Structure 1
């Protein structure tokens, strides 16, 4: 049997073990609803964690505790999965051994800090900026950094050169968020302090895109479930530190509420982190991010319609169409690239 130059034939002495992602990748078309669904889970988690924050108390301290409850409950579920599902358990154990023996660079396992930083920036900046302006800045930072990550080849699927289609899709994602909150954005007074504070969500968005690239690389080494567990483990540790720091600021905690649905944020987080670690290896960081934004905008509109919290106006549905258009533009561009490469 002939082998390519520089490779070792299977079964030969010293041959490396097969990579965890050697199994066939999911079909391209089937991953599209998975990416939209991950955005929907982000929107649902935002609703759940927002309600939990209001029930826990006031100030940044309540926001930090809500995030810690979300991450901690997700970590508990994933740890039970690792105990009951032997392949996941072996993957987590192997991850721990590789980190201990320094077979993995430290930066490759710190992706979970991106989620902790997002929560910290939300607690610090969202009350002043308003949630709409905060999300707009976050998506802008996310889109710009996604272009950079893919262009530099820092993600798991190699270099994807900047193109007009990719730039247009990123701009459409930002525009969709701006259109959906146009009325609220017009009421935000623009000051030097506000623009300075806007740097936090911009940086959080950039960190989020870098996190997806890191997660994709780690998943290629150990698989998506151990990568998801690692995200929750590292994120939980980061949030413990953040919660401790918030004790130095004003705020009150009133105790844990009894409604079970307020603790579903961790399950939502498991879903979208697992989905993003799987799909980013196929589509790249930008495509996953733009589809996620489309899923968030669409789900937010449907939640408002179904819960009766406010009838979505024309601007909301225009935002939905714009976000879906952005997803279609970057998705088709990536599909054409994949066919040329393949």
Structure 2
């Protein structure tokens, strides 16, 4: 097994925040691509396919990428980690599909807050189960309290959009639940990728395996959709529609590297902080059509960030121990 470098906290956290800033931009791009194609599955498949092309090129061009390629089969064959970890990319595929399908309906800020809720809650479970390379961590009362406050903050943030009654409320709740589930699964993906990275010796290979499985799943889903409902619109000509996949490469690779150094929860805290800051900035500076950022959304997002800090920072052993 080849060792991967560990980053100190002061270097790792800013890197996690900077990486998180990419996710709202990726969400806006994938959402716009889904609207242009009139097909969320096709948009997700295009995003993953472009990312796969980029990470294949990186894997063959860089010496560490080529060395990691040689480690894939032995690591899986020798069961150095559970074989189903190679399917972690299917979680990423689902997340990108959720972006493509719901960002146009919810706006980047609401999508991010919903995804953050799921990711925060699952971070507790992932640490409790010890799925990541950092091993098991106890679930404390402080972290549970922070998770409950996160859910309350999200409810406050989405309250301006939940003001309608009847079918309007129901129509919004369904799209909100999709990013919540996608975010919930993300902690598992990061833990699985972090463990695989330790055995591959590089996050490049973990990213490649992610994009292979994710692209395969999305292409199968798109073919089924094509057979049942036909094709959507043709591919748009603007180059920026195809940047979502390469951004996903950066996010997956950096998160896989940081999980070993910072752990799942602290890595999540950093990337979530970037997501919250980036998504609000994006919706304020470049709002999508129909997107309204109300004061409760801003304040609820700030409260969400505070609740995440409460839930994930290391606290003294005696603090509300459970």
Q: Does the alignment reach a TM-score above 0.5?
A: yes
Cα distance in 2, alignment partners of residues 116 and 75 from structure 1: 12
SS in 1 for 2:236: coil
- Where do 5+ consecutive residues of structure 1 fail to align? 1-16, 338-342
- CA 1:194 to 1:316, structure 2 compared with 1: closer, same or farther past 3 Å? closer
Q: Offset at 1:231? A: 0.8
RMSD: 3.2
- CA 1:177 to 1:197, structure 2 compared with 1: closer, same or farther past 3 Å? closer
- Once the two structures are superposed, residues 179-223 of structure 1 have per-residue CA deviations (whole angstroms, 9 ceiling, x without a partner) of 333201333647889878876555433322211111111111112
- CA 1:284 to 1:102, structure 2 compared with 1: closer, same or farther past 3 Å? closer
Contact 1:49 1:66 in 2 (8 A): yes
Q: Find 1:225's aligned residue among 184, 204, 207.
A: 204
Matched, 1:40 2:21: yes
Q: Find 1:146's aligned residue among 123, 126, 140.
A: 123
SS in 1 for 2:208: helix
- Where do 5+ consecutive residues of structure 2 fail to align? 318-322
- Relative contact order: is structure 1 or structure 2 higher (C-alpha 8 Å, sep ≥ 6)? 2
Q: Offset at 1:312? A: 4.5
- CA 1:291 to 1:188, structure 2 compared with 1: closer, same or farther past 3 Å? farther
Report the TM-score when normalising by structure 2.
0.83
- Once the two structures are superposed, residues 241-272 of structure 1 have per-residue CA deviations (whole angstroms, 9 ceiling, x without a partner) of 11112224446422111111111101211121
Matched, 1:20 2:19: no
Report the TM-score when normalising by structure 1.
0.78
- CA 1:85 to 1:163, structure 2 compared with 1: closer, same or farther past 3 Å? same
Matched, 1:165 2:146: no
Cα distance in 2, alignment partners of residues 225 and 284 from structure 1: 19
Cα distance in 1, alignment partners of residues 21 and 303 from structure 2: 16
Cα distance in 2, alignment partners of residues 264 and 31 from structure 1: 25
SS in 1 for 2:7: coil
- CA 1:130 to 1:328, structure 2 compared with 1: closer, same or farther past 3 Å? closer
Cα distance in 1, alignment partners of residues 110 and 193 from structure 2: 27
Q: Offset at 1:82? A: 1.2
Matched, 1:321 2:302: yes
Structure 1 runs of 4+ aligned residues shifted over 6 Å read 131-134, 190-199
Say how many residue pairs are matched.
Answer: 312
Q: Find 2:75's aligned residue among 65, 86, 98.
A: 98
The 5 Å alignment of 1:15-94 reads 19-21=2-4, 23=5, 25-56=6-37, 58=38, 62-94=39-71
Q: Offset at 1:143? A: 2.3
Max radius of gyration: which structure? Answer: 1
Q: Offset at 1:141? A: 3.2
